[in-house]
Chains A and B, each alone.
Chain A
Amino acid sequence: MSTKTINLTLKVWRQNGPQNKGQFETYQVSNVSTDSSFLEMMDVLNEQLINEGKEPVAFDHDCREGICGMCSMYINGRAHGPDRLIPTCQLHMRKFKDGETITVEPWRANGFPVIKDLMVDRSAFDKILQAGGFISVNTGGVPDANAIPIPKEAADEAMDAAACIGCGACVATCKNSSAMLFVSAKVSQLALLPQGKVEAKRRALNMIAKMDELGFGNCSNTGACEIECPKGISLAHIARLNREFLTASFTA
């Protein structure tokens, strides 16, 4: 680790509440260690604001190890900033230059209204999963775990899809604010496994209907979501979702 420090100008979106109009505020932060994460740099800014008697910037974050999916910053025009396969908490300051100006915004999508500053409401994702993103089994009374052999390839591919952390970068980066990558990850994971096939049709139809109802746009296959997805969820899952949805629509 070759540590050095850099000075930055930050243009941060400030918005009091969902009904308020927001605006950019400009701040200077100095002596930021390049080994810090982006959120640790935001901590430094907030400490500075608190000491100046101002309100700190509100942003969502929790695990800070790339798995809870709570952090959600749009940095220099990119969901989770200028690095691949990571959420904001794993973005490190070594990706920025001394003297650089960094723009920080919240996710912007109809489905994700701003709550305050950089925090948005992503409860629409929970609602989509409530519409069918599960296998309908109760606790207990299930067969032995090794009763159904599942080809390793199918299990691995299901795991690729299941890696989704529900952060919403796919929606934030899509020009249509489509949630197709998110929905397809769950539909695909469960459709790949024999346990999930039983109610695959119902699942695809209900989740898509809920997604449409909640104001997410259509997919026009630009592929931006795949590029910004911190877990590298592949567009191939959208293709599988479309197949599942079509079959279900024809046979329903």
Chain B
Amino acid sequence: MTKLDSKIPEGVLKDKWTNYKAHQDLVNPANKRKIEIIVVGTGLAGASAAASLGELGFKVKNFCYQDSPRRAHSIAAQGGINAAKNYPNDGDSVYRLFYDTVKGGDYRAREANVYRLAEVSNAIIDQGVAQGIPFARDYGGLLDNRSFGGALVSRTFYARGQTGQQLLLGAYGALNRQIAKGSVEMYPRTEMMDIVVIDGRARGIVTRNLVTGEIESHFGHAVVLATGGYGNVFFLSTNAMGSNGSAAWKAYKKGAYFANPCFVQIHPTCIPVHGEFQSKLTLMSESLRNDGRIWVPAKLEDAEAIRARKKRPEDIPEEDRDYYLERRYPAFGNLVPRDVASRAAKERCDAGYGVETGQAVYLDFKHAIERLGKDVIEARYGNLFQMYEKITDQNPYETPMMIYPAIHYTMGGTWVDYELQTTVPGLFSIGEANFSDHGANRLGASALMQGLADGYFVLPYTIQNYLADQHQVKPFSTDMPEFKETEKKVKEQIANLMEIGAKGKRSVDSIHKELGHIMWDHVGMERNANSLKEGIEMIKKLRKEFWQEVRIPGKTDTINVELEKAIRLADFLELGELMARDALHRDESCGGHFRAEHQTEEGEALRHDDKFMYVAAWEYKGKDAEPELHKEDLKYEGIEVKTRNYK
């Protein structure tokens, strides 16, 4: 078994990043313009990396499947971004942010990466303000903070309920400036189809122009994947419709290990499912848990009456309401981490106390409105309340919101070392696409922090350590056999799909929905060995059906949305199996990975640190071969490993 080298720098935890930067190799300014870098994705990580690398003088090519880089799904993040500024004077520090993140991740994250993340967090806020991001402010003109789950301090900066949008538009502005200067070349409506590896190093990508269908090759001295997570394997999730795992999956097949694929975050506050034609789930920001109180009826007969439309939530008197998070976790109450809140909702609904369809709980603002007034609540959450009303036709100022957990974020992803480099030299992975910082559960408002930390302040340094000797390498011609061979394979896959698709009977979506059901039922919020084994067999069977029965109308030399979806689904049908395998091998519960066999008497996740305190990194071994497991042992020097306790 190969040993994974995480390249964690020597020295005490707090000095590692400083030492790394002091001793790493850099590329001199004159040589930077000789070096070409490919960045795939334009979300927070991709846009910030492409802009920053362009500013430094590298020649950057940036790709996205959307019609504009501004559409990337980071834009949908609502609540906020964490930083250790300690502006509210409530005891925050870099160490505390690090501590909360490692603890929130249930001790399955790499300590050195998390510490670095906390260290650079403050610079992100400074950068955002300099870019003109209109963060919320107090009357004195200084920045305001709110609190989020899993923390005892208020460290979250926000721009109404549109923090992701504002941060992304900030990065997009920086990117636009570089595009105008010619240092970044932008390729919208272009999807990465494969990575080209030459002599063991990533040297470029093959893309499909989504408008013309043209297959093209692009050279890069290094390739950076900033392609987000794979939550859409579940079909229904809070991801955008086009969000996909294909870039990470192609990287896996080219030798980049895939780490902790089973670590998926289920967000507790989403609008419940309404019917079988539902295409996505809408998140209601976690920030709502600052003022909203979560409850279900305490009596079964009340829950039944509500489901039968014989009672309304307003009819249930205070003493007959079960504020189950406040009851179970008095210290953190409604602000427990996401995995804990999600499971608690499922537990109540499974026990028969769910409302509406039975798969929903209440998030009630009555007390907050009484305490603070409607105006204050409107100022804080107005746009979220408006969105809720548009979707459900109910007014949350008057009646409680209904929420239920939904797939939201994937902590797992491409394995990277401290430099964010994958196991393929020259191939880097940043943001949600990598596995790095969140362990088995991500805290709220930390995804924006990680994406921008990687893109603005980590990758622009660490990639230079790799590129330092690359200015002597002349750009390769894309006529080289490795490029042509990869193009040929891509074209063959497309031709194969179109041939099946001409005769097939099942639409891409119908197969994707079936995969989603398998994943939710067998690899979802609660898993056990039997359900996972069954799930694996079902996925295999569905995959076979896909390759015989999928229907794809249209042509390849024009916009063909069904073809795009089919290519992505083909990868999800393989990725889903690896997720189930990983979940089966991890015979413990931790964070968002809850194995029914491993729980405390009170129903909390029961870790087995003696056996599983490692990152599971899977190596692709060929089409029908079993993937090989590699382990990166996790060592904690700056934090005492404990059982998470939010009581």
A→B interface (CB under 8 Å):
1-3, 16-17, 33, 35-37, 39-40, 43-44, 47, 49-51, 53-56, 58, 60-70, 83, 85-86, 90, 92, 94, 115-116, 119, 121-123, 125-126, 129-131, 133-140, 142-146, 148-152, 155-156, 158-159, 162-163, 165-166, 189-190, 193, 195-196
B55–A139 CB distance below 8 A: yes
Chain B residues whose CB sits within 8 angstroms of the CB of A50 once the complex forms: 507, 551, 553, 562
Asked if A129 and B67 make an inter-chain contact with CB atoms under 8 angstroms apart, the answer reads no
Some 28 contacts from A to B, beta carbons below 8 A apart, are A35-B274, A36-B274, A37-B391, A47-B510, A56-B553, A62-B240, A63-B240, A68-B66, A68-B71, A68-B73, A68-B75, A92-B391, A119-B559, A129-B173, A134-B177, A137-B130, A137-B174, A139-B51, A146-B143, A149-B142, A150-B137, A150-B141, A155-B134, A155-B137, A156-B134, A158-B132, A158-B134, A166-B70
Decide: A195 and B76 in contact? CB cutoff 8 A: no
Could you say which of A43, A55, A193 contacts B277, with CB atoms under 8 Å apart? A43
Extra A-B contacts (5), CB below 8 Å, given A60-B67, A63-B241, A162-B166? A37-B391, A50-B562, A65-B280, A134-B131, A189-B134
Q: Does A64 lie within 8 Å of B280, measured CB to CB?
A: yes
Check: B596 CB closer than 8 A to any chain A CB.
no
* Interfacial chain B residues near A54, Cβ < 8 Å: 553
Q: Which residues of A contact B186 (CB under 8 A)?
A: 126
The 5 closest A-B pairs by CB, nearest first: A149-B141, A134-B173, A142-B130, A159-B134, A158-B134
Interface size range on B against A: 35 or more
Chain B residues lying within 8 Å of A189, measured Cβ to Cβ, are 132, 134
In the bound complex, residues from chain B placing their C-beta under 8 Å from that of A58 are 559, 561
Question: What is the bound-complex CA distance between A138 and B126, given in angstroms?
Answer: 12
Across the interface, B554 reaches (CB within 8 A) one of A55, A119, A136, A166, namely: A55
Q: Is the CB of A196 within 8 A of B393?
A: no
A166 vs chain B, min Cβ distance (A): 6
Taking chain A's interface residues, is the majority helix, strand, or loop, or is none over half, making it mixed? Answer: loop
- Measured between beta carbons, the chain B residues less than 8 angstroms from A44 are 277
CB nearest neighbor in B for A59: B561
Alpha-carbon separation in the docked complex, A53 to B553 (Å): 7
Q: Is the CB of B68 within 8 A of A126?
A: yes
Q: Which of A3, A55, A156 contacts B274 (CB 8 A)?
A: A3
Question: Considering the complex, which residues of chain B in the window 402-444 have a beta carbon less than 8 Å from any beta carbon of chain A?
Answer: none
Q: List A contacts of B275 (CB < 8 A).
A: 3, 33, 35-36
Q: Is the CB of A146 within 8 A of B142?
A: yes
- Least CB distance from A151 to B in Å reads 6
A83 proximity list for chain B (CB < 8 A)? 390
Q: Is the CB of B160 within 8 A of A64?
A: no
Interface status of B207 (Cβ within 8 A of chain A): no
Does B52 sit at the interface, judged by CB under 8 A? yes
Give every chain A residue within 8 A of B386 (Cβ-Cβ): 85
Residue of B nearest to A44 (CB): B277
**Which residues of chain B (429-471) have a CB below 8 Å from chain A?**
456-457, 460
Q: How far is the CA of A67 from the CA of B75 in the complex (A)?
A: 7
Residues from chain A with a CB closer than 8 A to the CB of B176 are 126, 129-130, 133-134
For B131, the chain A residues whose CB sits under 8 A away are 134-135, 137, 195
The minimal Cβ–Cβ distance linking B121 to chain A, given in whole angstroms, is 11
Please tell me if B387 contacts chain A, counting CB pairs below 8 Å: yes
Q: Which residues of chain B in 138-186 are interfacial with respect to chain A, using CB atoms and an 8 Å cutoff?
A: 138-143, 159-160, 162, 164-166, 169, 172-174, 176-177, 179-180, 186
What per-residue 1/0 map shows which CB atoms of B56-84 lie under 8 Å from chain A? 00000000001111111101100000000
Residues B174 and A134 in contact, CB atoms below 8 Å apart: yes
Q: Is B136 an interface residue (CB 8 A)?
A: yes
How distant is A176 from chain B, measured CB to nearest CB, in Å? 23
A152 to B69, CA, bound (A): 30
Residues of A within 8 A of B126 (CB): 142-145
Q: Does B48 contact A (CB under 8 A)?
A: yes
User: Which A residues are in CB contact (< 8 Å) with B240?
Assistant: 62-64, 68
A21 CB to closest chain B CB (Å) equals 16
Question: Which residues on the B side are within 8 Å of A69 (C-beta)?
Answer: 70-71
Whole-angstrom distance between the Cβ of A27 and the nearest chain B Cβ: 15
Q: How far is the CA of A149 from the CA of B141 in the complex (A)?
A: 4
**CA of A189 to CA of B71, assembled, Å:** 19
